[in-house]
Copies of this chain bind each other. A is one copy, B any other.
Amino acid sequence: MAIRPAEQLIHKAAWLYYAHGLRQDQVASQLNISRASVAMYLRKARETGIVNISTSTQLFTDDVMARRLEDALKLDAVWIAPENGYNPDQSTDIAVLAASVFLELVKKGDRIGVAWGRTVYTIADIMSYADLQDVTVVQLCGNLGAPYSYRPDQCTMEIARRLNAKGLNFYAPLVLSTEELARALRAEPVIREQLAGISDCNLALFSVGTVDADSHVVKCGALNPDEMAALRGIGAAGVIAGQIIDARGEALDCSYNRRVISAELGSLRAIEKRLMVVQEDSKFEPLLAALAGGLCTHLVVGAHMAQRLLDHAGATPHKAS
């Protein structure tokens, strides 16, 4: 029989191997197939999320620094990826940690909002598979027409795929050419509904963007470097889900923001668990802005960034910048 090896068979193999602790050859003989097939089924089982291998992220929160940051920033939980030696690629470390933390936060029946950017996409890319039920992943902001590598819909769909969840894409451009058009589009039932549904999420995953010429909103063509410089002139401090925020973490009053189709910051704040992940040290200022605006409740950063945040919080307690 060369039919598709039923999910059933994969499951049985995984069950005997992982739950009963049999060896592959024992599983093979019980199932009357070759050991090589068993090995293949087991790989599939891991890739499908039928088996879940997760490592506790406990130690990263147990860190004294993490605790102090939680207090200083009034966050629900902070995870700090250690800098120490052995992996030169700090940002991968952070992403791996973030993926684990994310999976630990997700529960059955959740509705998850996902923003976009390199960080989010990296996380999606290394996240292990899981077999959650009744999970919906929704896109937090409009799409890019341009062929950019870390498109919002890609981030959403990839995460949905990994979780075995339903992905809900946003069928609207991220930024429009006129405010009128943006307003009109937001009033469209389909779009309005989707925007309204964002506050029903109970978990959000996002990063924060810089407001310089390297910013992903510039790279993807939503803004050109000059426009960005101008925005910086009037107080732009960071980018959240495609929107420009000021140092207080509020949406900047500017034409660009009015032309963007994205989750309102208020809707974001309505989400119970908001996991922010910051990989680059250069995102210090934007992160401060996001924190000031209470845009996240859970934070994953590297040790260096954590130290800077602590120093800053210590220097200016209870006050932004």
Contacts and interface: CB of A to CB of B under 8 A. Distances in A.
Contacts of A100: 19
A239 B89 CA distance: 59
14 contacts: A19-B100, A20-B96, A30-B86, A30-B87, A31-B86, A45-B55, A50-B55, A50-B56, A51-B54, A51-B56, A52-B54, A52-B55, A52-B56, A54-B54
Interface of A: 7-8, 11, 14-16, 18-20, 30-31, 45, 49-56, 58-59, 86-87, 92, 96-97, 99-100, 131, 133
A147 to B, nearest CB: 30
B19 A55 contact: yes
Number of chain copies forming the complex: 2
A100 B2 CA distance: 31
A182 B157 CA distance: 61
A6 to B, nearest CB: 10
A243 to B, nearest CB: 32
B56 A53 contact: no
A51 B55 contact: yes
- Closest 8 pairs (CB-CB, A-B): A30-B86, A51-B55, A11-B59, A18-B55, A56-B131, A52-B54, A53-B53, A50-B56
Contacts of A55: 11, 14-15, 18-19, 45, 50-52
A67 B96 CA distance: 38
A15 B53 CA distance: 11
Nearest to A84: B12
A56 B108 CA distance: 12
Contacts of A54: 18, 51-52, 54
Listed residue (A8, A31, A52) with the most chain B CB atoms within 10 angstroms of its CB: A52
A13 to B, nearest CB: 10
Contact of A49 (B16, B52, B56): B56
B133 A58 contact: yes
A131 B18 CA distance: 18
Listed residue (A14, A49, A86, A99) with the most chain B CB atoms within 10 angstroms of its CB: A86
Contacts of A19: 55, 96-97, 99-100
B53 A52 contact: yes
Nearest to A54: B52
A99 B52 CA distance: 15
A168 to B, nearest CB: 23
Nearest to A97: B19
Nearest to A50: B56
Given A30-B87, A86-B30, A8 B56 contact: no
A140 B105 CA distance: 31
Contacts of A7: 59
Contact of A53 (B18, B59, B131): B18
